[in-house]
């Protein structure tokens, strides 16, 4: 695995444990695209990182959209004739279709049926559904559960409000040497679902925490926003800031056991694309790179043609490719600390590439310089093998003609970025190499 | 299979049957690079399409060539001593080497031998040979046939004329909105051979017939010409018109059971190349794409460096790769209506791509617009899958930045052109997308 | 195999035998980066080719390096208490670490141990080691040999001198029509080692001899230099000449049974890269192409960023990939005449490509010209196959638009360069093609 000196296996494991704990803490909260659950979530994150919490009023025009009414829910249930809560929001907040309008009624099972959603292919699991833009109400329950409900009359209650209010999001800027920004974005609109999206929230939080202790080249903007409407809102209200984003990652699904997947930005060969692919390639374990597509998470907005930002998406198993996706089975058993730890380490390794991907200039470009007299090379000649450290020195000297960044050199040499970076730093301490300021 | 609404499986099957019938009708005629057989062939085509028939006089200089003498043949035979026609042109016009000069003589089998051509590797079939540019005469017969001929004296007769006359070709222009042309070219110089070239003639005729009923974006020029000398003649006499050809296809070998083959134009990535490859890729059945080579059919002339037109060649089995090639076995059993139907449908699908490959502009390029409120998107959120129709909408919006044509979008998305086109048309009916006029 | 008419299998076999004989003759000489052994080697080469021998004084500044002291050695041994030479330089010059300073002493085996080098993984072989830039002394011997040495006192003697003198190299310029140069470079600094580097010396010598009898398009510079410091010295003293080098090959390891390997220049798609790859591809036997890396032989210097010359490296088995590498087993059994012959033929084939890779212009670019009337084409039409010779004519005509060299045409057509060249020459004897002078 490519990790900097600052983030060895130990601290990654620790971060994995912390991420898992944070997920466990946030799991019970009922989040949506607006509402108290989101505020509570962001307040908890503020215990870890100095997040700014923003409120955008219902009705605010954001490009082709407007900020929706705020939805809040206190309770919801279906009671049997005997008064027993046969479906209970307090047991599992997925039971209510998100953005359900209030209802209080008695009806037969048959009348209730159009408002009941199950997922027959996974009969033991409660599906997760939303209806943000059509005012309706509904309950989600497992297919087995529905099958067991007897005919008869039921009392149905959704104690929710859908009214003018605001959309809430969190924003953190870690200033670096330049105003150029690296965007880290995760969505916060899912209720009790761990991989999608609590894992993204947790990793983004720990990443922000770790970067907060560093001297940074880039400024890092970390966004905690409701999916789609949140990124649209942020982009609409921060259009001029968006132009500063030089690299970006949308984070989600980072706690499951699947192999890492990186979905490229719309550009396809942006520096962020190459940095992530490099890190995955040298990670020593399996991974997959996906081409950009305009479906997925908030990269859809960042990569819309009017912005076309170099923002990719890092996940383990991508959305909809794991059976637990958008069901009650995406729970605290499904995500595990070791996978969170591995995801965290990879994110930091990507940051290391971005932070250190400089250009250098070989000051003695005619023939190789004498590395031996600068204590950078062995003295016995004729040996069969040359260690990678020495190869890295030769590659850096050979390609540091002003046209190649360290990532270019790492890619062409097949050596890990960290090795190339160390070689460049060693050479830059002699008269042989100069760092180019850009 | 990619087919437009106008050309479903039904009409393709009908076209296949019509093509086969036309082939059967033209099969007995003895064609060559000049002569009455060609005129008769074109006259029969004129019963289907408003073809113009052109005559170019013998001796006309056409680039490095000149239009040859006109060849006509009434009869030919080899008679045994007993007066029996042992080889009879009236039974099979392949028996005479095309462009044979007249002969009337008695000679022994030994004296006759240098004028007898067989194909020993396919001993039951009569080969097809020509001698356009060296005045000689000869008979082709099956190897078995020759082996059975007894020694003895024979009477040899070729009742042909080779004299000043003209070269005949057919030309049809279907005018479209622009003067830019799509060239459809087939050769008409082969006698009783079905796949090469009656299948090309039949498909080109039915294509012209089908396009004649449409409102067209491009103008379509359909050429029925003798191979090589015909395309050279047309290009020489129509040099300025050739510059209008924006896309072109040479059609032949379209009735055999083999999988489709597309041979790219000299450019290799012309729009016609990409259109045909796209259609074949989404056809659901096997196909093969061949790089350009300067050997083959009339694409050799259209792709000569002085013209370098974007003209590819569509066949099923390419020339010389089927055993029946240029033998009497390339007959009415070898070609079949269903293969002709499939070839016809693919040609029309290519036309559909060319006709509809426009550029559009996303009028709301900053973030995704709200498709739901324009009735272009489902209302329930959280679902596992997104249908291809909705993906197509997202792709069209994402890439309609003025730089991408619908074919670009189809290629990058992996979705069929028809789906992308429908999405663009649906979006263009709203305020979201505008068609760019070019 | 691609060979010109001038270098058929016969003359290649002869060259292989001559190369082997030359290797055998030079094998006993003790070479290093300086010294009498190098002078003797170059004097022997001068019996075959009119080499200029150059001396560059110790201390001369050459870029970041300076020419080292000259090293010479008369004798060296380790004697047992009984006076027997248990390690004897006169039996094998690999026994002494190259550039060992003089020593004359008695010491126990234990005291001697730090100065004894073996290669335990190949216990029967004497390794080859150098210490050019750290003044020390040492003996190399087989691991078995060391194990058999009894404890006790030994007499150690290295009768060497390390003093101001000069570095010796050989240089030969074969003038051609243009001052543009093709560089052939081999290193001469290894003592009794056959594949690395006597095979390179022998092939370069025979190549120079063969080219000396030809009328050449390019000028050929053949360098016989000590590795690294030699190429650095030559480049430092001939900086302006280096700019004339348009193509170059570093030759070594050309006598072993392994398949040919070509390591590309730093540019990666220089004409030399394409020429060698073409020759290997059409050779009919296995080969491997390696990407450039800044480790290896003198291409490291030629391809340093301040020069970036289009110089690749041709070997059979590359350095360090054969067990015999830098050991006493790289001897006269390891290299064989037939492999030398094959290497020589491939080098000449590469030269043939470079010498003949011209551009031509099709004088009748509109449609195909009539090859038949110029006796370049058969007269019978309708045949199934077209011979490669005729295909080559069509390819040359089709691509000779001024933008394509013969190598471009060979690559695109898949035909061998020699066939394309012959076609171009045949066409250029008619009115159809003109050679472009560059």
- At B341 the three-state DSSP class reads helix
pLDDT for the residue C9: 57
Please tell me if residue A423 touches chain C, with a CB cutoff of 8 Å. no
> How many alpha carbons lie under 13 Å from residue B77 in its C-beta half-sphere?
13
CATH 3.50.30.90: does it fit domain A73-163? yes
Spatial distance between the Cα atoms of A17 and B119, rounded to a whole number of angstroms:
80
Per-residue pLDDT of B34-87, as tens digits, reads 999 999 999 999 999 999 999 999 999 999 999 999 999 999 999 999 999 999
Per-residue pLDDT of B144-200, as tens digits, reads 999 999 999 999 999 999 999 999 999 999 999 999 999 999 999 999 999 999 999
Instruction: With CB atoms and an 8 Å threshold, state whether A235 touches B366.
Output: yes
- What is the SS3 string spanning chain A? CCCCCCCCHHHHHHHHHHHHHHHHHHCCCCCCCCCHHHHHHHHHHCCCCCCEEEEEECCCEECCEECCCEEEEEEEEEECCCCCEEEECCCCHHHECECCCCEEEEEEHHHHHHHEECCCCCCCCCECCECCCCCCCCEECCHHHHHHCCCCEEEEEEEEEEECCEEEEEEEEECCCCCCEEEEEEECCCCCCHHHHHHHHHHHHHHHHHHCCCCCCCEEEEEEECCCHHHHHHHHHCHHHHCCEEEEEEECCCCCCCCCEEECCCCCCCHHHHHHHHHHHCCCCCCEEECCCCCCCCHHHHCCCCCCCCEEEEECCCCCCCCCCCECCCCCCCCCHHHHHHHHHHHHHHHHHHHHCCEEEECCCCCCCCCHHHCCCCCCECCCCCCHHHHHHHHHHHHCEEEEEHHHHHHHHCCCHHHHHHHHHHHHCCCCEEEECC
Spatial distance between the Cα atoms of C423 and C429, rounded to a whole number of angstroms:
10
pLDDT for the residue C10: 66
pLDDT band at residue B1 under the 50/70/90 scheme: very low
* ipTM, two decimals: 0.94
- Where do the structural domains in chain B lie, given as residue ranges? 5-67+166-356, 72-162, 359-436
Span C121-138, mean pLDDT?
A: 96
- The CA–CA distances, whole Å, from B61 to B56, B164, B298 equal 10, 14, 19
Nearest CA in chain B to A129: B382
- CA distance, residue C388 to nearest chain A CA (Å): 39
**Dihedral, C113, C117, C121, C126 alpha carbons, nearest 10:** -130
Q: For chain C, list the contacting chains (3+ Cβ pairs, <8 Å).
A: A, B
pLDDT for the residue A8: 53
What's the sign of the alpha-carbon dihedral A412, A415, A418, A422?
A: negative
Span B393-409, mean pLDDT?
A: 97
Instruction: With CB atoms and an 8 Å threshold, state whether B381 touches A130.
Output: yes
Chain C interface test: which of A381, A398, A399 (most C C-beta within 10 Å):
A381
Q: For chain B, list the contacting chains (3+ Cβ pairs, <8 Å).
A: A, C
Has residue B2 got a pLDDT over 70? no
The answer to whether the beta carbons of residues C432 and C394 sit under 8 Å apart is: no
- At B393 the three-state DSSP class reads helix
Q: How far is CA B136 from the centre of its chain?
A: 31
Q: What is the CATH number of domain C72-163?
A: 3.50.30.90
Q: Which of A4-8, A60-64, B385-389, C77-81 has the lowest mean pLDDT?
A: A4-8
Has residue B387 got a pLDDT over 50? yes
pLDDT for the residue B377: 81
Please tell me if residue A373 touches chain C, with a CB cutoff of 8 Å. yes
User: Which chain A residues are closer than 8 Å to B388 by Cβ?
Assistant: none
pLDDT band at residue B3 under the 50/70/90 scheme: very low
Enter the tokens of residue C341.
Answer: 């012959």
Per-residue pLDDT of C232-280, as tens digits, reads 999 999 999 999 999 999 999 999 999 999 999 999 999 999 999 999 9
pLDDT for the residue A10: 66
Please tell me if residue C268 touches chain A, with a CB cutoff of 8 Å. no
**Kind of pairing, strands A401-405 and A359-362?**
antiparallel
Burial readout B343-380 (b: 16 or more C-beta within 10 A, e: otherwise): bbbbbbbbbbbbbbbbbbebbbbbbbbbbeebebbeee
Which residues face A139 on adjacent strands?
Answer: A96, A116
Per-residue pLDDT of B317-368, as tens digits, reads 999 999 999 999 999 999 999 999 999 999 999 999 999 999 999 999 999 9
pLDDT for the residue B438: 66
- CA distance, residue A274 to nearest chain B CA (Å): 20
User: Which chain C residues are closer than 8 Å to A381 by Cβ?
Assistant: 98, 129-132
Q: In CATH terms, are C72-163 and C359-436 the same topology? A: no
| Reported pTM | 0.94
Please tell me if residue A128 touches chain B, with a CB cutoff of 8 Å. yes
Spatial distance between the Cα atoms of A186 and A41, rounded to a whole number of angstroms:
13
CATH 2.60.40.10: does it fit domain B72-162? no
CATH homologous superfamily of A9-67+166-356 equals: Zn peptidases (3.40.630.10)
Enter the tokens of residue B340.
Answer: 């002709």
Nearest CA in chain C to A366: C306
pLDDT band at residue C5 under the 50/70/90 scheme: very low
Please tell me if residue C422 touches chain B, with a CB cutoff of 8 Å. no
pLDDT for the residue B366: 98
Nearest CA in chain B to A298: B367
Instruction: With CB atoms and an 8 Å threshold, state whether A232 touches B368.
Output: yes
Spatial distance between the Cα atoms of C242 and A248, rounded to a whole number of angstroms:
46
pLDDT for the residue C438: 66
- CA distance, residue B403 to nearest chain A CA (Å): 11
Has residue B4 got a pLDDT over 90? no
CATH 2.60.40.10: does it fit domain B359-436? no
Span C414-437, mean pLDDT?
A: 96
pLDDT band at residue C378 under the 50/70/90 scheme: confident
Instruction: With CB atoms and an 8 Å threshold, state whether C381 touches B295.
Output: no
- Which mean pLDDT values do the consecutive 10-residue runs of chain A (438 residues) have? 47 95 98 98 98 98 98 98 96 98 97 97 97 96 97 97 98 98 98 98 98 97 98 97 97 98 98 98 97 97 98 97 97 98 98 98 98 84 84 97 97 98 97 91
Return the H-helix or E-strand segment holding B41: helix B36-45
Please tell me if residue B399 touches chain A, with a CB cutoff of 8 Å. yes
Instruction: With CB atoms and an 8 Å threshold, state whether C368 touches B228.
Output: yes
CATH 1.10.3720.10: does it fit domain B5-67+166-356? no
Spatial distance between the Cα atoms of A419 and A407, rounded to a whole number of angstroms:
11
**Kind of pairing, strands A61-62 and A65-66?**
antiparallel
Report the percent of chain B where pLDDT is more than 70.
97
The answer to whether the beta carbons of residues B236 and B298 sit under 8 Å apart is: no
pLDDT band at residue C410 under the 50/70/90 scheme: very high
Nearest CA in chain A to B409: A293
pLDDT band at residue C6 under the 50/70/90 scheme: very low
pLDDT for the residue B10: 66
- CA distance, residue A372 to nearest chain C CA (Å): 8
pLDDT for the residue A9: 57
In chain A, residues 274-313 whose CB comes closer than 8 Å to chain B:
293-295, 300-301, 303-308
Instruction: With CB atoms and an 8 Å threshold, state whether C133 touches A370.
Output: yes
User: Which chain B residues are closer than 8 Å to A65 by Cβ?
Assistant: 367, 370
Nearest CA in chain B to A326: B382
**Kind of pairing, strands C181-187 and C153-163?**
unpaired
């Amino acid at each position: 695995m490519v990790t900097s000196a600052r983030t060895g296996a130990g601290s990654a494991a620790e971060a994995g444990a912390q991420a898992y704990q944070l997920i466990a803490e946030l799991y019970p909260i009922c989040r949506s695209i607006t509402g108290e659950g989101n505020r509570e979530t962001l307040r908890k994150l503020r215990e870890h990182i100095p997040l700014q919490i923003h409120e955008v009023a219902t009705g605010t025009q954001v490009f082709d959209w407007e900020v929706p009414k705020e939805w809040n829910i206190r309770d919801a249930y279906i009671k049997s004739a005997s008064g027993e809560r046969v479906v209970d929001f307090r047991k599992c907040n997925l039971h209510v279709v998100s953005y359900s309008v209030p209802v209080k009624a008695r009806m037969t099972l048959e009348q209730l049926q159009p408002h009941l959603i199950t997922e027959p292919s996974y009969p033991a699991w409660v599906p997760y559904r939303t209806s943000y833009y059509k005012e309706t109400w509904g309950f989600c329950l497992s297919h087995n559960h529905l099958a067991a409900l007897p005919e008869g009359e039921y009392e149905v209650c959704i104690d929710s409000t859908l009214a003018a209010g605001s959309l809430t999001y969190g924003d953190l800027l870690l200033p670096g040497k330049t105003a150029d920004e690296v965007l880290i974005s995760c969505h916060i609109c899912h209720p009790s679902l761990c991989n999608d999206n609590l894992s993204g929230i947790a990793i983004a939080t720990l990443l922000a925490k770790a970067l907060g202790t560093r001297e940074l080249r880039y400024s890092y903007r970390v966004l905690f926003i409701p999916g789609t409407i949140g990124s649209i809102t942020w982009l609409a209200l921060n259009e001029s800031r968006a132009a500063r984003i030089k690299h970006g990652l949308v984070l989600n699904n980072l706690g499951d056991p699947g192999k890492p997947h990186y979905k490229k930005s719309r550009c396809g060969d942006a520096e962020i694309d190459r940095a992530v692919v490099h890190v995955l390639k040298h990670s020593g374990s399996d991974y997959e790179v996906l081409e950009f597509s305009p479906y997925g998470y908030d990269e859809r907005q960042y990569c819309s043609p009017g912005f076309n930002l170099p923002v990719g998406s890092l996940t383990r198993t991508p959305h909809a490719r794991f059976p637990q996706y958008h069901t009650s089975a995406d729970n605290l058993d499904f995500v595990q600390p070791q996978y969170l730890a591995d995801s965290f380490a990879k994110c930091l390794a990507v940051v290391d590439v971005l932070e250190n991907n400089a250009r250098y200039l070989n000051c003695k470009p005619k023939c190789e310089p004498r590395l031996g007299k600068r204590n950078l090379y062995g003295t016995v000649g004729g040996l069969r093998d040359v260690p990678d450290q020495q190869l890295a020195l030769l590659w850096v000297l050979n390609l540091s003609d002003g046209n190649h960044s360290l990532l270019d050199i790492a890619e062409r040499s097949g050596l890990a970025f960290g090795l190339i970076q160390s070689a460049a730093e060693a050479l830059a301490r002699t008269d042989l190499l100069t760092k180019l300021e850009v």
